[in-house]
């Protein structure tokens, strides 16, 4: 028998022991209670990137499973705080958070957008430095032509002019631009808000963490697409500076190669290759992913699903897949709860 602190009344509930050859069917369902998913794409959705559920259904399923909190992302328009507030009103009994992703829809590094998001709807719980509209990601997006991958920047001059030119970039040296400095100061002035590095390059990630530390930002999360481009040693160095490292089920269980636009309405800009070109093959499965987390230290990680798209499992099922897969790798119940409960609760002040 093992024990895990469960949310009902604060008591300690005894859980069945589990070994590789003696596995319980219901332990993943027990362990999902009280957990939080830090990364859910909740919608609304682009026609070019359909969702699996609407945000109310996502919250209702998570509540029914006994989960504690959800973090909603909107990587298209950028602000999920309004959705978070509406869902909180309609689905009481589970915490719903939102934030702002600095998309080019919002003008990229736009301090006014950050100021507004901090007080709009539920209020931003995070400031994220760009998903599919960072310069790094946009530079790696493309499609197959005659069976060969071709980048959009090499195929469409309009893409370079209208999109790549406006994509989010973090300067690697020199003076900090006024807009970036103002955003960093806004985050520092709101200690309940965490900085998420976004889908930037490895070099930009390191620079952004260093700047965040200089500005006195207390809570820093290295986004999972940025993390997998860092070496294990680089991740250890960022963790030593106080940054949390994000892991997602989509790192190792995702439908890469399907034509999908997470950001653009143009049919010809449906990406097929960025997930392949910008992520190392070493993270194509859960075994090296989990092994690296152990090497760095589980205390440095927050883990979510990154689910919500139509072609993936529901977020709740994604969390169950994560928990059951870690059990198969002989993570203890306590270790799993540290990743999807304890560390996340500290980040979100739950």
C-alpha 69/C-alpha 88 separation (Å) is 10
Can you tell me whether residue 79 is helix, strand or coil? strand
Can you tell me whether residue 101 is helix, strand or coil? strand
In angstroms and rounded to an integer, the radius of gyration of the C-alpha atoms of the chain is: 20
C-alpha 223/C-alpha 248 separation (Å) is 9
Kindly give the confidence (pLDDT) of every residue in the chain, 350 residues in length, as a single tens digit, with 9 standing for 90 and above.
444 444 444 444 555 567 778 888 899 999 999 999 999 999 898 888 889 999 999 999 999 999 999 999 998 999 999 999 999 999 999 999 999 999 999 999 999 999 999 999 999 999 999 998 899 999 999 999 999 999 999 999 999 999 999 999 999 999 999 999 999 999 999 999 999 999 999 999 999 999 999 999 999 999 999 999 999 999 999 999 999 999 999 999 887 778 888 788 898 999 998 765 555 554 578 999 999 999 999 999 999 999 998 988 999 999 999 999 999 999 999 999 999 999 999 999 99
Give the contacts of 241 (CB within 8 A, at least 6 positions apart).
209, 210, 213, 220
Q: Is the pTM above the cut of 0.95? A: no
Helix (H) or strand (E) holding 31: helix 27-31
């Amino acid at each position: 028998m093992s024990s895990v602190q469960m949310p009902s009344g604060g008591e300690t509930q005894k859980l069945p022991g589990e070994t590789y050859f003696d596995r319980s069917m219901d332990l993943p369902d027990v362990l999902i209670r009280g957990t939080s998913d830090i990364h859910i794409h909740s919608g609304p959705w682009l026609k070019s990137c359909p969702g699996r559920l609407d945000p109310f259904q996502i919250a209702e399923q998570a509540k029914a499973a006994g989960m504690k909190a959800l973090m909603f992302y909107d990587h298209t328009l950028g602000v999920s705080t309004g959705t978070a507030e509406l869902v909180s009103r309609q689905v009481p009994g589970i915490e719903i958070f939102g934030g702002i992703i600095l998309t080019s829809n919002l003008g990229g590094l736009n301090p006014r957008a950050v100021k507004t998001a901090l007080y709009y709807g539920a209020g931003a719980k995070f400031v994220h430095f760009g998903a599919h509209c960072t310069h790094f990601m946009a530079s790696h997006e493309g499609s197959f032509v005659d069976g060969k991958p071709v980048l959009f920047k090499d195929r469409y001059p309009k893409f370079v002019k209208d999109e790549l030119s406006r994509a989010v970039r973090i300067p690697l040296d020199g003076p900090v631009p006024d807009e970036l400095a103002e955003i960093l100061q806004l985050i520092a002035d709101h200690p309940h808000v965490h900085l998420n590095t976004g889908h930037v390059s490895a070099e930009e990630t390191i620079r952004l963490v260093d700047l965040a530390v200089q500005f006195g930002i207390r809570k820093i999360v290295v986004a999972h697409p940025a993390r997998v481009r860092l070496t294990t040693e680089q991740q250890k160095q960022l963790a030593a500076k106080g940054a949390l490292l994000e892991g997602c089920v989509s790192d190792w269980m995702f439908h890469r190669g399907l034509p999908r636009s997470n950001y653009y309405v143009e049919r010809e800009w449906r990406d097929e290759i960025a997930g392949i070109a910008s992520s190392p093959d070493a993270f194509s499965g859960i075994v090296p992913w989990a092994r690296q987390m152990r090497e760095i230290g589980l205390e440095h990680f927050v883990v979510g699903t990154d689910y919500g798209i139509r072609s993936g499992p529901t977020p709740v099922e994604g969390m169950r897949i994560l928990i059951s897969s870690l059990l198969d790798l002989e993570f203890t119940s306590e270790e799993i709860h540290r990743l999807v409960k304890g560390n996340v609760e500290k980040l979100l002040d739950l």
